[in-house]
Chain A
């Protein structure tokens, strides 16, 4: 059974703290993604990575950085957490090329609900 796991389901941090969100996939996927989900806004792409040590900014990268040292692991870093980063964070992975359904769909982890006080 394919799996994307995220290190925490719930996290509470203080303003100014450095926060690490970890994501691991066991499908040998090349692509990995970080989104945040907010009411009324859907999912917005923060960063994605198409290979180890490679990264690209998404639509809302400000205040975030990422690290991908191994193929299976993609970390999202909040350098100095702020209250407006309180959100649900979702990690996803996908393979390159085309699968039986066409362009390969993304597989999502269960999410991390981050609250910044």
Chain B
């Protein structure tokens, strides 16, 4: 039973516009959330994270928002660039060992 869900398998956005990726989780014990980005034929790379004690974390063009009451987080990419075209995975952790539960991923395509 997947505890982290990304319900949108794909997202198409124009270059320069905002990309919003959504992620829902069911386990209220998760205390740390991460986003990974994956290009074809490469392993996922870490993008941004947020602790459950915060509701927002920003890093350049990337901002993650956490709504604990709704068990929902989102990743905003502003402005979107062609190099952002990739699969984005949401992940959640509930222990200090760093074991992660991943969502199914969202394929983002940024068009010129």
Contact = CB atoms under 8 A, between A and B. Distances in A.
A110 B103 CA distance: 19
Interface in B47-94: 49, 51, 89, 91, 93
Given A50-B97, A110-B42, A105 B102 contact: no
A45 B99 contact: yes
Of the listed residues A92, A101, A102, A107, the one surrounded by the most CB atoms of chain B closer than 10 A to its CB is A102
A109 B45 CA distance: 9
B44 A31 contact: no
Contacts of A48: 97, 99
Which applies to chain A's interface (DSSP): helix, strand, loop or mixed? Answer: strand
Nearest to A40: B104
Contacts of A56: 97
A44 B41 CA distance: 18
Interface residues on B, range: 20 to 34
A41 B100 contact: no
A43 interface: yes
B36 to A, nearest CB: 8
A41 B9 CA distance: 11
A42 B103 contact: yes
Interface in B1-39: 2, 4, 6, 9, 32, 34, 36
B34 A42 contact: no
A71 B43 CA distance: 21
Those 5 A-B pairs whose CB atoms lie nearest each other, nearest first: A108-B43, A105-B46, A42-B102, A43-B102, A42-B104
Interface of B: 2, 4, 6, 9, 32, 34, 36, 41-46, 49, 51, 89, 91, 93, 96-105
